[in-house]
Amino acid sequence: MNISMYQASVPTFIHGLTSLVTLLEKATAYAEAKKFDPTILVNSRLFPDMLPLAAQIRIATDGVKGAAARLSGQEPPVYEDNEQTMPELIARLQKTIAYLKTFTPEQIDGSEERKITLKIGGHALGFSGIDYLLTFVKPNFYFHVTTAYNILRHNGVEIGKGDYLGKIQ
């Protein structure tokens, strides 16, 4: 059995982003219950040289909207990256989920050999579509989703593996 590029990307991205929405909603409720400003969590990080929660959400959403666009031969939309509150981060996740839902299998399937070039840190990185998805986008996505989870858990938000994995279909 073969798996399509669409199936390996868009549904898994939507699933992960939906789990992040749930995590942020639980974090907001936790902050309200403990009577502290949820913005503290938005700006929290695991270590001084790591990016805060808001950046983890931004990078995760940028990666997957970019992947769907590039694999379908389109330019990815640009977001302002100015979210500073939990509701703004949740809205960004929901906007990205809505964007991903606009893609069809026909737009992404067959992109295994599509040439993808990214400029990162002044260097051009070239990939085939399949390598881009499996060795760059997906590991980065899960890194930032996991880091967001860890930031929240480290700060006492009562979440667990089931929240990270999300609703299994």
Q: Is residue 72 part of a domain?
A: yes
Report DSSP letters for the chain, one per residue.
----TTTTTHHHHHHHHHHHHHHHHHHHHHHHHHTS-THHHHT--SSTTSPPHHHHHHHHHHHHHHHHHHHTT-PPP-------SHHHHHHHHHHHHHHHTT--HHHHTT-TT-EEEEEETTEEEEEEHHHIIIIIIHHHHHHHHHHHHHHHHHTT----HHHHH----
Q: How many domains does the chain have?
A: 1
Q: Is residue 106 part of a domain?
A: yes
pLDDT bin (cut points 50, 70, 90) of residue 167 is confident
- Confidence check: pLDDT of 1 > 70: no
Identify the band that residue 89 occupies on the pLDDT scale cut at 50, 70 and 90. very high
Using the predicted structure, report yes or no on whether residue 96 has a pLDDT greater than 70. Answer: yes
**Single-letter amino acid, residue 93:** L
Residue span of the structural domain in which 153 resides: 10-162
Indicate whether 27 belongs to any domain. yes
Contact partners, residue 109, CB within 8 Å, separation at least 6: 4, 5, 6
Answer yes or no: is 50 within a domain: yes
- List the one residue out of 133, 125, 164, 167 whose CA is nearest residue 24: 164
Q: Residue 36 sits in a domain of what CATH number? A: 1.20.120.450
Q: What is the pLDDT of residues 15-71, one digit of tens each?
A: 999 999 999 999 999 999 999 999 999 999 999 999 999 999 999 999 999 999 999
In a domain, 1, yes or no: no
Q: Quote the pLDDT of residue 168.
A: 74
Asked if residue 67 belongs to a domain, the reply is yes
| Residues 64/100, Cβ–Cβ less than 8 Å | yes
**Distance set, CA 165 to CA 46, 111, 139, 161 (Å):** 21, 27, 15, 6
User: Where does the pLDDT of residue 169 fall: very low under 50, low under 70, confident under 90, or very high at 90 and above?
Assistant: low
